[in-house]
Structure 1
Amino acid sequence: MHSHSIKDLWDLPELKIIATTKINHQIFIDVMPIKSKQACPICAFENTTRRGIGYVRKVRHLEAFGCPVYLNLPAIRMSCTACFAHFVWAYECVAPKKRYTKAFEATLPKQAIGATITHTSRVANTPATTVARIVRSWKMEEATRVQKTCQKKALACHNLVLGIDDFAIRKGHTYNTGLHDLRGGTFLDVIPGRRIEELHAYFNTQSTLCALKPVAIVMDLAKAYHTFAKKMYPAAIRIADRYHVNRYVTEALQAVRKSVQKQLTPFSKKDLKQHFRILGKRRDQLKNDEKNILHRLLQYAEILHQVYSWKEAFIEWYDCSSTYELAKKGFGRWLAQGTTIKHPAVESCLLTMRNWQEEICNYHQLRFTNAAVEGKNNLIKALQRRHFFTRNPQHYKETILLECNAEWIQYGS
């Protein structure tokens, strides 16, 4: 292979390749600068003089042909004839006093996203401390840039739809709140806490988030989120997330199932308990053998058949209501259907549905759910397990913003 082709292969435009050797599955490249002179870093005078080579730097470069590549860079001593300063030749491909080229360092963050520092260190054959230092330095800059890009995109959106949901740092003790752009598919910010006073305290310091003008906000039935959204974005439609609303109906169905189980024979009780998941599935998603099992289960008690039909009618209401006006009428009929079922679990569910009737029906004004938000929450859970959490809150937030907005990351060349 010609020398200029080798130079193009390793992307070294400023260097001239003198020799290439392979020793013990490692490639060593002897190079020299193409230019004969370099401007003085102090006075910028270009008429400098070479004073020989003090030593040779061994610098790690990009891998090639399955082997690690090292550049043998001569440390050329220079002196300026104008200011009489002495300095060492500065290479563009590597920073001063560094053992890795800029191109090699730029590959480490891409390997670290979605993995651990230990795994990246093993794959890159680089010390973990070096990988951690490079990746953390990159995350500080890139997370800020990605967050500003996503928030700027949300500000420019005329039909912005926000999604709000909490995720656990320590389940049952500490929580954070995620703010999402559902239309753009981006994660806008991590808000510490989930109580209304914590939300207000954080938003008071974030002028960009206060300037957002969403047409709708999707969230669960947490009263704090609805109170906060009503005060912060009064013009936005508040939509109760379909997944969380449907879960109330499913939990009522399972509560009825448990009460029915207590009155059955041991064999029937075991049969009903064993196939409880079939009751929670949509009828149109059941397989043929599951339909046969469902038919057998519903014959154990009339009230179980009534609650199951009530649950299916709710799914049909979500799917088939074509307009907001028809949805409100259909929702009233569904509530009336539920009142005929005399069971405490169903009555408790109906009470919740009546209290949140407006927010539930608003789904039919703008059909958005927090499905993407739940996906990001699962990604955050996996991140926390993979990293065994992290003690640095800022580093934790930067990692979340980058991994949840992976398509917006720009890796160095």
Structure 2
Amino acid sequence: MHNKFITDLMNLPDLVATDLIQTEEYLVFVVDYQKDHVKCPVCGKKAHKVHDRKTQMIQDIPIRDKKVAIRLEKKRYSCSHCGKRAIPKRIESITKYSRKTERFKMHLLKQTDSRDYSRVATEHGLSYTSIQNSVRSKLDTLIKEAQLATLDEVEAISIDEFAIKKKHKYAVALTDPINGKLIDILTSRKKDDLIEYFNTWPEKLREQIKYFSMDMWSPYKAVAKTVFPNAKIVVDKFHLVTAINNALDKLRKEEQDKQTPANRKKFYKSRLTLLMAGEDLDDDGHQRLIEIFKLSPALEKAWELKEEFRDLLQIPDVKESIEALNHWYENVSQAKLNLFYRAKGTVKRWEQNVINYFKTRITNGFAEGLNNKIKLIKRIGYGVPKVENLKRRVFLSLLSI
């Protein structure tokens, strides 16, 4: 017969306590199932007959500095209606094969967020591996739940890569740019690998994606066309600005090489100033640009084209944005700067996707912020981790637990 006071103290759904044993180190709750039957998976009727039983000790969260164990007599049942045997009983608070309650795994997860695994293991009388496996198991469950919730409402996908190891290995972050949520972190940016991954999504989900935001890397475009038939492809404005800034910086280097040693130093010191938004420049910045523009009229033209391009991306009206883009094309042609002519060609090749940005104003802004978070996680002590471990750390930093 169960004890209501002890059951309430234990507070685990689907279980009732029949006794509480106290030792110097442990509180041991002796428990049984709240409902002593299962639904037969074959005929759907209730199975009451016990097929076999096995006592198991399951660790739970501490109470008043005492370790807690749940002593459960696990049972398997037989169906007297259809003869099905060895039907296991599943309960919400303890997953299959686990020797820890789900809330104890969550307790360990919270503790290891800011503390060393070894110390937490020692405090709970567990091995390092046990802590590691429990934390990974619980976090992976939480990640899956978060992903399902995000995908349930997603209409737009943003894809952005980041370096795992500088200039060598890249991973990919998939985000929902409208709701600002992480969907997944993938180990490969290869076209075939991405197509294979997205094809694991239900067809209905892939058909509900309306927008696909990306940089100007052709394989991503091929992926989007293959797996998201209804999605408009949007070029991310931050990558557009980067392309124009790269052209400006290359021209700065070319012009710098033409100068005297003293003036080369001025050009070099102005490299970041040139790339700053014009409205963010202070008096010193303006003066620095005036000095180098006197030495290089070509660089002044290029800077003006960069500013004009930035400004047209801010125009809220779609028609006016397109007109401003065409005017920028004309100004680039008149400037006769090879590097900017090439940049113009790049923008033209992606023009329809740029116009899709004008129409939607969807960007990879959340993904860019996420990349900064990833860099911080790598820098504060986790080194160059495996992508799966990094994924867990990033999700943990975003989840509310």
TM-score by length of 2: 0.72
* Shift in Å, 1:331: 0.4
After superposition, give the CA deviation of every residue in 1:182-233 in whole Å (9 maximum; x if it has no partner): 1122222344532322222333333257534222211000111112223333
Q: Does 1:371 align with 2:345?
A: no
* Shift in Å, 1:278: 0.8
**Aligned mates of 1:404, 1:176 — CA distance in 2:** 18
* Shift in Å, 1:152: 1.8
**Aligned mates of 2:204, 2:161 — CA distance in 1:** 17
| 1:109 match | 109
**Aligned mates of 1:103, 1:191 — CA distance in 2:** 29
Three-state SS of the structure 1 residue aligned to 2:324 is helix
**Aligned mates of 1:196, 1:149 — CA distance in 2:** 26
| 1:53 match | none
Counterpart of 1:402, as a letter, is F
Three-state SS of the structure 2 residue aligned to 1:268 is helix
| 1:354 match | 348
* Shift in Å, 1:290: 2.5
| 1:399 match | 392
| 1:247 match | 242
**Aligned mates of 2:345, 2:118 — CA distance in 1:** 52
Ranges in structure 1 where 5+ consecutive residues have no aligned partner? 1-6, 22-27, 45-56, 78-91, 155-159
| 2:149 match | 149
Q: Does 1:229 align with 2:224?
A: yes
Three-state SS of the structure 2 residue aligned to 1:235 is coil
The answer to whether the 8 Å contact 1:260/1:301 transfers is yes
Identity of aligned residues (%): 22
**Aligned mates of 2:110, 2:126 — CA distance in 1:** 14
Three-state SS of the structure 2 residue aligned to 1:184 is coil
* Shift in Å, 1:110: 2.5
- How do residues 81-160 of structure 1 correspond to structure 2 at under 5 angstroms? 103-113=103-113, 117=117, 127-154=127-154, 160=155
Taking CA–CA contacts closer than 8 Å with sequence separation of 6 or more, which of the two structures ends up with the larger relative contact order? 1
**Aligned mates of 1:76, 1:101 — CA distance in 2:** 12
TM-score by length of 1: 0.70
The answer to whether the 8 Å contact 1:238/1:359 transfers is yes
- How do residues 278-317 of structure 1 correspond to structure 2 at under 5 angstroms? 278-317=273-312
Q: Does 1:186 align with 2:176?
A: no
Three-state SS of the structure 1 residue aligned to 2:335 is coil
- Distance 1:279-1:149 versus aligned 2 partners, 3 A rule: same
Moved more, 205-214 or 347-356: 205-214
Moved more, 307-316 or 182-191: 182-191
* Shift in Å, 1:61: 4.7
The answer to whether the 8 Å contact 1:17/1:29 transfers is no
* Shift in Å, 1:281: 0.3
**Aligned mates of 1:259, 1:122 — CA distance in 2:** 61
* Shift in Å, 1:355: 1.4
Q: 1:342 aligns with which of 308, 332, 336?
A: 336
The answer to whether the 8 Å contact 2:31/2:71 transfers is no
- Distance 1:138-1:309 versus aligned 2 partners, 3 A rule: same
Three-state SS of the structure 2 residue aligned to 1:340 is helix
The answer to whether the 8 Å contact 1:164/1:178 transfers is yes
Counterpart of 1:175, as a letter, is Y
- Distance 1:306-1:139 versus aligned 2 partners, 3 A rule: same
Three-state SS of the structure 1 residue aligned to 2:234 is strand
| 2:85 match | none
The answer to whether the 8 Å contact 1:187/1:404 transfers is no
After superposition, give the CA deviation of every residue in 1:158-199 in whole Å (9 maximum; x if it has no partner): xx2221223344454543433322112222234453232222
After superposition, give the CA deviation of every residue in 1:136-174 in whole Å (9 maximum; x if it has no partner): 2213433332222222232xxxxx222122334445454
Three-state SS of the structure 2 residue aligned to 1:239 is strand
The answer to whether the 8 Å contact 1:10/1:62 transfers is no
Counterpart of 2:129, as a letter, is T
Q: Does 1:261 align with 2:261?
A: no
* Shift in Å, 1:9: 9.8
* Shift in Å, 1:243: 0.8
* Shift in Å, 1:266: 2.0
CA RMSD for the aligned pairs? 4.4
- How do residues 211-226 of structure 1 correspond to structure 2 at under 5 angstroms? 211-226=206-221
The answer to whether the 8 Å contact 1:60/1:100 transfers is yes
| 2:324 match | 330
The answer to whether the 8 Å contact 1:147/1:401 transfers is no
**Aligned mates of 1:150, 1:263 — CA distance in 2:** 54
Three-state SS of the structure 2 residue aligned to 1:365 is helix
**Aligned mates of 2:213, 2:98 — CA distance in 1:** 49
- Distance 1:329-1:398 versus aligned 2 partners, 3 A rule: closer
